[in-house]
Each structure stands twice: as structure tokens, then as C-alpha cells.
Structure 1
Amino acid sequence: MPLLPSSDPALPPVEITLRRSPRARRFSLRVSRLDGRVTLSLPPRAREADALAFARAQEGWIRRALSTVPEGQEIRFGTLVPVEGQMRVLRPGSGRILRLEGDSLLVPGDEAQLPQRLAAWLKHQARDRLAAASDLHAGRLGRPYRSLTLRDTRSRWGSCTHDGRLMYSWRLILAPPVVLDYVAAHEVAHLAEMNHSAAFWAHVARLCPAYQAPRRWLKTEGQALHAYRF
């Protein structure tokens, strides 16, 4: 991975991910708001040296963009993590299972295993909640779905294929329950309408009448759910 050297000796170099795109007609830079990854897109036949020269000329813009990327939240005991929209303090627990007590989430085992064990528990909770919500909405719609899978997607919170396969981001378990329910209603509505037409939104409104508020929440707050590093 190429490194963009700094014009200021006090600043570290920046890693650049090069991506050749058949649709690219010029060089373009993107800094991810989720993890700070810097991607430089270039046309198929462009020279790498010219692309890196372009990046060097844009160093000021790149560093300003990186300065606005939120820091990731490490998972350790004492960390606050949202579970169904409520902030919980991660604390050492006894026994073999994770459990909620008041404002605490008790996690047994060594701290080194905490991120892995917490992620596994959250995924289990997410599957239960999303399956229940999808079953409910599919029953109301009268359109069964074929399967349900979980992923850690960053570009979308859910999807529905033409053959009825539902996919959700398991990080929805971190959001308030009404947000998870809205996403389930949204994807189930695609079983009837594989588009975002007026007919589609009419189905969403019937399944989740107050969908506007959770939809706004995802647009304004959803990105923060990706800050937790499991």
C-alpha cells in the first residue's frame, strides 16, 4: 500500500489505497468517515506515479478530512456500549454467559476475549430480534421471505434480493428497538416492491406507521454504531 509522505516532519505518512475503476475518467480521493481509509480512484490506464503526485498535491485536503474522522471506540472493561439504544458499562462477570444487570453488561472471561465474546452475544441478540421483526412484518404483508443473514456491512443496514433473501447489519442491535424494527419493515416491504416507489413506501407506512423518526435517526446517528471495534 503506497504511503503519502508528509510535508511536515512532525506528521506521520498517510496510507493510500489505490483503486482502478473502469468508470473513472480522472483521479479522485475519498476519506472514509468510518475508519479514515484514504482511497484514490484512478482510470484503468493511468500511471500510478501520476496518481500519487495528485495525492501529494491534495495533502492539505486529505489531512483536514482525516482530522474530522471520529476516533474508534476500543472494547474493554469500563467501556460504554449501546445495547438496544441504552448505554451499558462493560464489567467483568462470573459464570459462562453474558447478562444485563441494571446499567451494566457483565461479561465473563479475560479482557483479551471481551471483544470477541461481546460481538458473538450481540450477533445472537440481533438475529433473535431481526428474525422476530421480519416474521411479524412478513406475516402482515403476506409475503414470506426465504432466508435471513447477518453481516457487518457499512454501506447499508439491510437488503432484500429478488428471491426473498434478507440481509441485515448485526449492529442494528446497538440502535433503539424502533430503528431495528423500521429496517426490518423496510426490507420486508421489498418482498412486495423491489424499488422505492410510492407503493413501496405505502407498504412501509402500513408495517411501521411512524417510520420517519427511526429513518432520520439512522441518517444522523447511525454512523456512530460503526465506531465500536470488535
Structure 2
Amino acid sequence: MSSEPSRATVAPAQHWRSYGPLDLHPILLHAMEAFNEHGYHGTSVRDIATRVGVTVPALYYHYENKQALLTTLLETSMKDVLDRCRAAAAEAGDDPLSRFRGMVESIVLYMANRKGMAFLDTEIRSLEPENRARYVALRDYLQHMLLDTVRAGIREGAFTTPIPADAVRAILIMCQGVANWYRADGPLTAEEVAERHVLLSLGTVGYAGPRAED
């Protein structure tokens, strides 16, 4: 299992279900918007500087290059997900079923409420090898957290999937997809989307216990 990542660059969430305005340096905020609109390779440092209203040298004073902007955004995003997922698991206690529900809910709520940050995961291909390895380690840690919980649920008879690692990968892909399609002005709230994904995820791990009626 991966060693626990550092959380030094991310302020802990007051509560894992709570979301206020996105608190980013203006350069990072405009870089995020530009990357989402035009892609990493379709965005220049000058484009970002123009959005922020600063000169290119002023931008370089804060961030070494465009790669540093993308790396900072991706790592900040993943560390926030991890913080919230850990908080949800801690709140749930030792019961694997409760922990699983809370962890999946926390991930989906993040994807819906921070979709601009979460959508940047598609730019992992643009990371340089060292930065990519560091980011993948964070993603792997999240996967191991969820997998450990599913395996604990299997041992206690709550889950029946014979392929827990595959189930967890499928769940995380499904949850990540929320950032691609969710709209705040759509027919479902973030909480409703999270509730539905918890039910879908329970089916994926073979939970056969009582559920809320449709």
C-alpha cells in the first residue's frame, strides 16, 4: 500500500460535505479555467497572464512555468479529495459498510462541487514523468483506501464481490465521470447524485443488504 501523502499544501475542510467558494490564488484560478476551456496544450502562459491581468514575468515570479501550474492544481485537487474521504471514513467509524458509503459520497460530492478542479484529471497525460508519478501516487492512495474498506466488508460478510480491486477501479471511474456531466442547474442536486452513486457502488461490490426503496 502507498505511504500516506503529505497534506501540507491543502487546508483541511471544515466538514467533508461543506463547500464554500473555491479558494485559489488568482493565477491558479485563471489557469484552471483556461486549461478546462482550451486544454493544457492549447493554453499559453501569456493567455493565463492576460486573464489574470499581470505581465508574463510577474506570473513567472509566482510559478516557474505552465507545468508548475498544472501540477499544483492537480495535486491540490487530489489532496482535497483525500482529506474529505479520510474525514468521511473517520466519521463513519469502524463499520466497513458505513465507511464505504461515506467515502463514495465524499468523492462524488467533490466531483460535483469542484468539477473545474476535478475535470483537470483528464490532463494527467500532460504531466512530465516526475510530476505524473507523484500525482499517480496520490490517486493510488485513494484507491487503496477504498479497496481496504471493501476488503474489510468482504471479511465481515457485507460485500460479496469476488473481484474487489476491479470493483473499486470501476467505482472510481464512475465517480470521476460526474465531473464531466454534472450541472448545478440540472435536474439533480449534488447530494442526489451522490446518493445514487452510493447505491450503484453498493451494487458493484455485491452488497445484498436492505436498501432504501426506489
* Shorter-chain TM-score above 0.5: no
Q: Kindly name which structure, 1 or 2, has the bigger radius of gyration based on alpha carbons.
A: 1
Q: Which has the higher helix share?
A: 2
Higher relative CO (CA 8 A, sep ≥ 6), structure 1 or 2? 2
TM-score, L = length of structure 2: 0.28
